[in-house]
Chain A
Amino acid sequence: MRTSSIADRVRQIRGSGIREFFDIAQRMEGAISLGVGEPDFVTPWSIREACIFSLEKGYTSYTSNWGLPELREPISDKIYKESGVYYEPEGEILITTGVSEAFDLALRAIINSNDEIILHEPSYVSYKPCTVFAGGAPVCVDTEVGDEFRLRAEKIEEKITEQTKAVILSYPNNPTGATMRKKDLEEIAEVVNEHDLIVISDEIYGKLTYEGKHTCFSSLNGMRERTILLNGFSKAYAMTGWRIGYAAGNKDIIEAMMKIHQYIMLCAPITAQMAAVEALRCDDEVERMVSEYNKRRRLMVEGLTEIGLSCFEPKGAFYTFPSIENTGLTSEEFAKRLLFEEKVVVIPGSIFGACGEGFIRCSYAVSQYELKEALERMGRFLEKHRIV
């Protein structure tokens, strides 16, 4: 056999030693997990019911490569209603197998080899590897707690070269819960315009915004043509397992993404698309869940502060990102010891980029009961080690 049968660009992405820790965490009996990245709610019943009904009626075939028109139309309406941007259901909206697929398509549709893609950290773990797989070169920009983990236009500008093709924007942010103000986004829009860049805006947590209103990046002046807007059903509708997302953008880019999609995926599952149609009629359910997350968000921020961890106040998604710097432990050590000593799962911040070191991600997509119990255990842990 050759030295390696695995392609270089796959080999260069390393699963770090943290995998082993995650395996242990997955299996530990009696553990409370704040390591979850998905809602604790089951998909609302009316959505599940619509799906069952579609199966009973025999909807089990492929759909159009673009996705069901009955789904693209209300998505177009919804984007228009919420942010004032109109996307043609024919040709400007593509239904995908989760935002995950849409993200991969977006990168592959635009990257020529060694194009540079600017992304901010800490952020969702998939961005960097997907960029590499697509043949691009990720260029990271740090965001800081002192600046509420916002991405600054001037920081983007510092990293721009001849090779820069696009910027990935991910707010409300996983793992920090940070959001961007409209003004921050407008400054970015200016830079994007000036340097003729594309923006891939992952707005999957947009609905989960607790203070202020989420601004859709493509609603900014001149940005509709430059933005690939990604969104989906996983988080806001508690539909992670259904695998439904979508991309909206200008005809050329969406057409290019569709070209790839039709060969690699063909279409998103019809059953899930049927369910998604119903989901778009379930605003009340979304509101109910958002209101519950908001309560837990406040409980958690106060609770963390009380046990001695300083915590940036997240305004979106369902994560808190407290600093553990005063414990003198690395985020990985902290997470490991907390798991073994008190059986609470948290995610080391370093997973989300080097500048995430010194923080841990704690999800509040857990019941209030679990949240309280976890905080109690964490408090005991901190006290025991007199690290507070």
Chain B
Amino acid sequence: MKEEGKEEEILKILEENARISDKEIARMLGIEVNEVKEIISKLERAGVIRKYKAVINYEKAGIETVQALIDVKVSPERNTGYDSVAERISRFPEVKSVRLVSGEYDLSVLVSGKTMHEVAYFVAEKIAPLEQVRNTVTHFLLKTYKENGEIYEEEEKGERLAVTL
């Protein structure tokens, strides 16, 4: 297997299951454990692997959270374009993701809070008043069907026979 091929394979395995052991990865790919360790630490150092996180269905855990997608229309600045305002918005811990998008509006911002009130208040207080922000539209998320490639509902599995020859 080529070097880049191994990196990609390892990334895919970790993306699927970040808690898997180095030994198992090594077995799956038919390479040495040390090599796996080296590749992973290289990817971590290079910032390719940003973090190891769990995909959590909070609704199922009975923990109330409210999330909203905010469409933000922005007047770009002369030198920095959208970057400076996007970075500014990104610094709030309530903000989970910030993306520059094409179309009707410019930034798509995901905000999370404990209550609807808290989220609405945050948008009104922190985002709408920013000088470059011309307009915001808030969409509260009602239900998540799929997140990070994971479908939330029970996994689909047909019944298979235990024995087929």
Contacts of A302 in B (CB 8 A): 27
**Interface class of chain A by DSSP:** mixed
A40 at the interface (CB under 8 A from B): yes
Number of A residues, CB within 8 Å of B: 24
Which of A29-37, A55-63, A106-114, A178-186 is near enough to bind chain B? A29-37
Q: Is the CB of B28 within 8 A of A36?
A: no
Q: Contacts A295-B29, A299-B27, A299-B28 given: A347-B163 contact, CB under 8 Å?
A: yes
Beta-carbon contacts of B77-99 to A below 8 Å, as 1s and 0s?
A: 00000000000000000000000
Docked pose: A288 CA to B30 CA in angstroms: 18
6 cross-chain CB contacts under 8 A: A31-B162, A36-B160, A36-B163, A124-B165, A125-B165, A295-B29
A71: min CB distance to chain B, Å = 24
A356: min CB distance to chain B, Å = 12
B108: min CB distance to chain A, Å = 26
Q: Is the CB of B29 within 8 A of A36?
A: no
A295: min CB distance to chain B, Å = 4
Considering only residues 273-323 of chain A, those with a C-beta below 8 Å from chain B are 294-296, 298-299, 302
Q: What is the interface of chain A, defined by CB distance below 8 A to chain B?
A: 22, 25-26, 28, 31, 33, 35-38, 40, 42, 124-125, 241, 294-296, 298-299, 302, 345, 347, 351
Number of B residues, CB within 8 Å of A: 15
Q: Contacts A299-B24, A299-B28 given: A345-B162 contact, CB under 8 Å?
A: yes
Contacts of A124 in B (CB 8 A): 165
Docked pose: A15 CA to B137 CA in angstroms: 69
A19: min CB distance to chain B, Å = 10
Contacts of A125 in B (CB 8 A): 165
Docked pose: A125 CA to B160 CA in angstroms: 19
Contacts of B27 in A (CB 8 A): 298-299, 302
Q: Is the CB of B164 within 8 A of A36?
A: yes
| Closest residue on chain A to residue B164 by CB atoms | A37
Considering only residues 1-50 of chain B, those with a C-beta below 8 Å from chain A are 13, 24, 27-30
Interface centre among A22, A124, A295 (most CB of B within 10 A): A295
Contacts of A35 in B (CB 8 A): 162-164
Contacts of A40 in B (CB 8 A): 160
B62 at the interface (CB under 8 A from A): no
Q: Is the CB of B162 within 8 A of A36?
A: yes
Docked pose: A25 CA to B27 CA in angstroms: 30
The 6 closest A-B pairs by CB, nearest first: A295-B28, A37-B164, A33-B162, A35-B163, A125-B165, A22-B163
Contacts of B164 in A (CB 8 A): 35-38
Contacts of B13 in A (CB 8 A): 295
B161 at the interface (CB under 8 A from A): yes
| Closest residue on chain A to residue B12 by CB atoms | A291
B156 at the interface (CB under 8 A from A): yes
Contacts of B162 in A (CB 8 A): 25-26, 28, 31, 33, 35-36, 345
Contacts of B160 in A (CB 8 A): 33, 36, 38, 40
| Closest residue on chain A to residue B24 by CB atoms | A299
Contacts of B143 in A (CB 8 A): none
A290: min CB distance to chain B, Å = 13
- Sample of 4 further A-B pairs with CB below 8 A, known A33-B160, A125-B165: A38-B164, A124-B165, A298-B28, A345-B162
Contact with B156, one of A37, A42, A351 (Cβ below 8 angstroms): A42
Contacts of A296 in B (CB 8 A): 28
Contacts of B24 in A (CB 8 A): 299
Considering only residues 150-165 of chain B, those with a C-beta below 8 Å from chain A are 156-158, 160-165
Docked pose: A42 CA to B162 CA in angstroms: 16
Docked pose: A103 CA to B30 CA in angstroms: 36
Q: Contacts A42-B157, A42-B158 given: A26-B29 contact, CB under 8 Å?
A: no
Contacts of B161 in A (CB 8 A): 26, 36
Q: Is the CB of B28 within 8 A of A345?
A: no
Q: Is the CB of A347 within 8 A of B157?
A: no
| Closest residue on chain A to residue B157 by CB atoms | A42
B159: min CB distance to chain A, Å = 11
| Closest residue on chain B to residue A48 by CB atoms | B156
Contacts of A345 in B (CB 8 A): 162-163
Contacts of A25 in B (CB 8 A): 162-163
B27: min CB distance to chain A, Å = 5
| Closest residue on chain A to residue B158 by CB atoms | A42
| Closest residue on chain A to residue B20 by CB atoms | A368
| Closest residue on chain B to residue A339 by CB atoms | B162
Interface centre among B27, B30, B163 (most CB of A within 10 A): B163
| Closest residue on chain B to residue A346 by CB atoms | B163
Docked pose: A42 CA to B151 CA in angstroms: 14
